[in-house]
């Protein structure tokens, strides 16, 4: 029944958008409370449980973290990442949050780069790495952008903080913000992993296109990396439609990539699909995560 309900929701993008908006607002309310009352605690206040993935995990009080602990969070995306990890030598987790995907890669014995700028998320990320005795990992407390500098991170912790002001109808974005450093993916990776199979997860809440603008060298690595990226069209953007939506996909097509939905359907996405979604101001793919693999 749950599978049928999920299938029905995919046919009605407006219902999906309403459901995501309600869920995000509830999540923000929980997380703002948690951020204000446990800001200086270490390890951060929250829950620690053994996960179905084979590692222990500390999480905050946001409802989304309960799904992580239970193994229900992004189940299709996680299954896809795990399948690609069997072929990867390096995993780059951009928007690592509290470390779910990072711990998955470390647990699989893959050398990992974790990038996360949000202070509370970082404390939980550190705790999870220490708790599981993971050492094959680098952690960078920074954001990624087109060029190095300083910028503002809006929103509380959990999974909703963004460099995009007003992202996902953030509650009181003016009062919950911080200044963070940013660098580029090309600077961060350099040429250290040339010749290695690299898997990149990019989940930066609407700021993925500026990350790609600072990753021209990475996009041309040999062998070229595989990417899984969250790309929203009209779901969370304060302008109503992501202004860089089509440009994000075109960047990969220009570099010779193939695009598919990051779910069990594994449906290929064509330029005509993206053009239709932009013109209609709504995406009917049923997902916001996509997998980008080198053509051929």
- Give the total number of structural domains in the chain: 1
In tens digits, the chain (296 residues) has pLDDT values of 544 545 554 555 556 556 555 555 555 555 555 555 444 444 455 556 788 899 999 887 777 777 887 778 888 999 999 999 999 999 999 999 999 999 999 999 999 999 999 988 999 999 999 999 999 999 999 999 999 999 999 987 666 789 998 887 755 445 688 999 999 999 999 999 999 999 999 999 999 999 999 999 999 999 999 999 999 998 888 888 899 999 999 999 999 999 999 999 999 999 999 999 999 998 999 999 999 999 87
Phi, then psi, of 181 in degrees rounded to 5 = -80, 150
Scanning the chain, the segments in alpha helix (DSSP H) are 2-10, 13-37, 63-70, 75-85, 100-107, 119-131, 185-189, 208-213, 216-219, 245-254, 271-280
CATH number for the domain harbouring residue 142? 3.40.50.150
The confidence score (pLDDT) of residue 224 equals: 96
Residues 6+ apart with CB under 8 A from 5: none
Range of the domain at 11: 2-294
The confidence score (pLDDT) of residue 31 equals: 55
The confidence score (pLDDT) of residue 172 equals: 47
């Amino acid at each position: 029944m749950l599978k049928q309900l999920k299938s029905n929701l995919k046919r009605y993008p407006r219902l999906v958008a309403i459901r995501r908006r309600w869920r995000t607002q509830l999540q923000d309310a929980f997380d703002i409370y948690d951020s204000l009352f446990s800001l200086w605690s270490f390890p951060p206040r929250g829950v620690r449980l053994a996960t179905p993935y084979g590692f222990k995990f500390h999480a905050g009080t946001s409802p989304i973290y309960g799904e992580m602990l239970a193994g229900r969070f992004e189940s299709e995306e996680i299954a896809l990442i795990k399948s690609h990890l069997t072929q990867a030598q390096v995993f780059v987790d951009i928007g690592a949050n509290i470390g779910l995907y990072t711990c998955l890669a470390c647990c699989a014995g893959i050398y990992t780069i974790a990038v996360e700028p949000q202070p509370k998320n970082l404390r939980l990320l550190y705790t999870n790495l220490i708790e599981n005795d993971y050492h094959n990992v680098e952690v960078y407390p920074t954001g990624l952008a087109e060029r190095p500098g300083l910028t503002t991170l809006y929103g509380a912790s959990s999974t909703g903080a963004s460099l995009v002001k007003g992202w996902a109808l953030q509650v009181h974005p003016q009062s919950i913000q911080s200044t963070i450093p940013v660098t580029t993916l090309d600077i961060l990776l350099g040429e250290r992993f040339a010749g290695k199979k690299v898997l990149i997860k990019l989940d930066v809440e609407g700021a993925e296109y500026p990350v790609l603008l600072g990753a021209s060298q990475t996009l041309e690595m040999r062998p070229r990396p595989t990417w899984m990226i969250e790309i929203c069209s009209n779901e969370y953007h304060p302008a109503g439609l992501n202004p860089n939506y089509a440009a994000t996909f075109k960047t990969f097509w220009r570099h010779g990539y193939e695009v598919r939905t990051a779910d069990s359907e594994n449906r290929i996405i064509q330029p005509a699909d993206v053009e239709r979604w932009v013109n209609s101001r709504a995406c009917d793919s049923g997902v916001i995560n996509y997998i980008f693999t080198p053509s051929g």
